[in-house]
Amino acid sequence: MPFADVEARAARVRSRLAAAATAAGRKPADVRLIGVTKTHPPEVARAAVAAGVTELGENRVQELLAKLPLVPSARWHLIGYLQRNKVKDVVGHAVLVHTLDRRSLADALSRRAAAAGVVQRVLVQVNVGEDPAKHGCQVDEALDLVAYARDLPHLAIEGLMTIPPLPAAGEDASAAARPHFATLRRLRDEARARFPEVVHLSMGMSADLEAAVAEGATMIRIGTALFGPRESGPWRPEEVGT
């Protein structure tokens, strides 16, 4: 997608964000825009950075690692499921891992961060819709997982993340998602009462960002509205010499 298109789409997303924030009595600057570049080539990520969208997210580790050196000026977030054997590739590269959802992964992340001499920033992913098709810990496990992970020496637990269930056909996405966003916010408030560093709410995508901002999102993860429809599969660098 040409730069001018990304720039125009970014302006539209920013004005949606600003309108939603203002309607909720919030400051637009308190909601961070993360551009989700999955399946798109690095040129699209560069266009995003040029348009001022400098925080970018990928849901696959391989794709994040492939683009990161090609777009080093971006700050890269991991927003997809993390397997334990990929932890070593992510720690120290992703500014924020949004998808901590189990103790064994917390242990692995902290161990790797210790070896790398860093503190890895993470969010705990909660499956607020109890959707069997989605990752994330259960609602009633979330506070325990936060408490467990924050005791690990090389993790910083900064908030919670969720992906709500897909709306039913014909249902308004924002209206369908809003109660799930409200659940995440209540959980965050409970966690923050015990652990003041748990501040962030990563929630809201192209179709439901208004509801997310109304419920207190501090990070929205936007793909389609910024970059158009996705390609059919992950982006891969061209194989050399084949």
Ligand X SMILES: *Cc1c(COP(=O)(O)O)cnc(C)c1O
Q: Segment near ligand X (CB under 6 A), from 13-21, 129-137, 203-211, 232-240?
A: 203-211
Contact present, 145 and 124 (Cβ < 8 Å):
yes
Which of positions 73-102 make contact with ligand X (CB under 6 A)?
79-80
Among 59, 127, 174, 218, binds ligand X (CB under 6 A): 59
**Judged by CB under 6 A, does residue 134 bind ligand X?**
no
Among 38, 60, 112, 188, binds ligand X (CB under 6 A): 38
**Judged by CB under 6 A, does residue 159 bind ligand X?**
no
Of the two residues 79 and 96, which places its CB atom closer to ligand X in the complex? 79
**Judged by CB under 6 A, does residue 174 bind ligand X?**
no
**Judged by CB under 6 A, does residue 45 bind ligand X?**
no
Structure tokens at 91: 């720690």
| Min separation Cβ 7 and ligand X, Å | 18
What sign does the CA torsion over 26, 30, 35, 36 have?
negative
| Min separation Cβ 13 and ligand X, Å | 9
**Judged by CB under 6 A, does residue 36 bind ligand X?**
yes
**Judged by CB under 6 A, does residue 127 bind ligand X?**
no
Of the two residues 138 and 224, which places its CB atom closer to ligand X in the complex? 224
Among 142, 205, 214, 217, binds ligand X (CB under 6 A): 205
> What does the binding site for ligand X look like in residue numbers (CB under 6 A)?
36, 38, 59, 79-80, 163, 205-207, 221-225
